[in-house]
Structure 1
Amino acid sequence: MKKRILIAALTAAMASSIFGVTVNAAERELNINWLSSRSASESAILAIQDIAKQYQEENPDLDFNFEIENISDRTAYLQKLKILAASDELPEWFDSDPDTWFADIVADGKAYSFEDLYKELGMYDQIFPISKEYARLSDGSLNLMTLQCNTEYFFYNKDLFEQAGITETPKTFDELLADCKLLQDQEIIPIAMGGDWPILRYFAQVPFRLTGNEYIENAVSGEGSFGEEAGLKGAQFIQDIAQYFQEGWSSADYDTMIDLFASGQAAIMYNGTWALDQADMIGEDENIKDNIGYFTMPTYSDADVTTATDFFANSGIGTAIRTDAVDDEMKAWMKYLLEHYADASLSYNQLPSVMPDEETMQSLPKVYQQIIEDVSNVKEYAKCWDVVIDSALVEPLEKETVILALGQETPEEWAANMDEYVKNQK
């Protein structure tokens, strides 16, 4: 009995040093409730759950509670998140885009700086540049951790292109429209469309070529107008290309878009590299299948201010850590997470936000090495319209853009409606 009491006393007195701060081993505790907008089956979620389990096994003296609430419905998620924020009950972790709502959260001091945290943990240079730049607010601050490294491509079916007599991938938007016409003449669906965000990507490409991100940043802030020349040219383009989407596209969901392309019914699908597995584009050798190719965002005109190597590269929605939840135990966990995340993410066929080591990088399938090279060559990343606009305006933006694409309003009417939405949100 005396021996057991002595051991217990020694255990209680034992201390461990974490980041120079002494923590009593008997009092180690870390509680993380993560409110996530990701689905429970998403690769990032699965990878982090694996790491959390491993961390608990390696730290048996830590009372570690890691719980995730997944709400993949965007509207429902944002509703709950904003209610919690308004009542000052934000969880330790929560997902957000770097939008104007999150900028207010940062201004109130409620989200810890990942600029600081990455540097404190010695991990800043191990994070892919896109995974930092994509999550920055317009003032340059970085308060979100992203978990992916993605590019977005026009994936195409080589067999259907050959059937339509198309021998080269389009380099300009005019060439893209001409190729769609050739496909349609062969009774091939030129473009698979579905879901909320893809339509916005098509629209955003012309303004990005003409102004970089200036057009959308000024429009969503109210400092400019959606009716500026670049926006009206983008609006005309969306009306021109929408005639090549499949019949009934406006009510189709994301899975329908994937299925149309994967089944060979549609020749082109614009999507991110996260869809390689979803659309059955990866073969047994873990490289892209022989009958699938891809091309990047076309150019628009000689007036373009962005280059052909600049396009949409992103890292998905970000995760914030509530400022007062960041203590030495949280930092110890974050360092462990970041050091193990690359391998865990790759085990689920997802390119991570953390760079793999050189040996792992060289062993990756060629398609993933190419993605990393493409990301590295991007000098200006196109910003996603549904990310930079206030979250309350995402639904109106999507609705108005579908109406525009269907030809039910003019570009000028679309722009005026969007300007009014922004004005009323202020």
Structure 2
Amino acid sequence: MTRATEKWTAGRRADGGPYDAVVVGAGAAGLACAADLCAAGLRVRVLEAGGEPGGRMRTDRVAGFTADRGFQVFNTSYPQVKRRLDLRALRLRAFTPGVLVHTGDGLRRFTDPTRRPGQSRDLLPGRLASGRDLLALAALSARDGLAPAAVLRHGADGTTLGALRAAGVSPHLVETFFRPFLSGVFLEDRLETSARFFHLVWRSMLRGTLCLPADGIGAVPAQLAARLPPGVLRTGAPVAALSARGVLLADGGEERARTVVVATGQRAAAGLLPGLRVPGGRTVTTLYHAAVRPPLEEPVLVVDSRRRFLNTCVLTALQPGFSPDGRALVSTSVLGSPSPAETEAVVAALGEVYGVDAGGWEPVHRVTVTDALPAVPGPAPLSRPVRWAPGRYVCGDHRATGSLQGALASGAKAARAVLSDVRAGTV
């Protein structure tokens, strides 16, 4: 029977033969891997434990509000994003370039002067940074923005804090801007993240635009999943273990396959592949509040130099459709999982930062994401092997970098490994 004449039912051959590949997990990495394997002509099944694809890139509808599973942004500069997604169909709207930093002197704007020259007043020497700091920042940004990504990936590694010191950034600017801002990017406030990863992230921000889809971040994996052939994706199918013939499902069933790709988060991956070494994870909680009047009309990210929260923004200033009734939807993220008293302190801090009485804001949603990002304290590899054992592979942002680009690239790398082994006849 040739591949062209095989009969299929819901993604499986009519004769009950095994798949070429089963992909466990329908997050960004698993969807990218499955797409590449399907495009190469392999028989593929994707098994997702949840009711819909997306992994950590999910969007909830709460009392009519659109609330992502944690604050998320979509960066248009990622190569894998450009390759795989129809950006127009996502109906993206962009944040204002740069961020507002709450300092002892009020809000100060940190922005790229090449994009919004008219909003660069706070970058005059002595307002947010010294003249020496501005020169150091310009040199750092020119290097990271213009250098090929490969140069940054293969540079010397250490910590982000070390990289900022080496670039000549003063402790004052580190504490006023970089630590508050990057804490929200890396979900850690010690600036211990790999210096190489920091340079790549800074490059992506200089070259790209931070946006959100009109339907929330969940629209991204939904589009990836929609491009798979019919019947490939099966949701509500948690995998209990890998077997000699494929995978065992939690309901007692089995899906047979020549190869298995584990594309879950790091903890689940370690459970399915005993002995797999995975990085630790960063936990973040995002609070959503509804306000009768928007505390800020501009779609811009706000950070606090006192680090009472990671970041905050008025989502409806960016995407008005995130609210069902015209009220403003305010998103605020904090490290870990705050207690009720700590949450009250965060709301009080928001009132101070925005210059409003936030005590009357209505709590709409709260979501804590464990392992929201893999921890990559430097020095650290930016890519880890995807082959685990003969016919067994693993991918995800924990095998690369904690970003959508990292997840998609890891999935593509796993697909290349599977295809190489299948064509070589080693699996």
The TM-score with structure 2 as length reference comes to 0.29
Q: More strand by proportion, 1 or 2?
A: 2
Q: Which has the larger radius of gyration?
A: 1
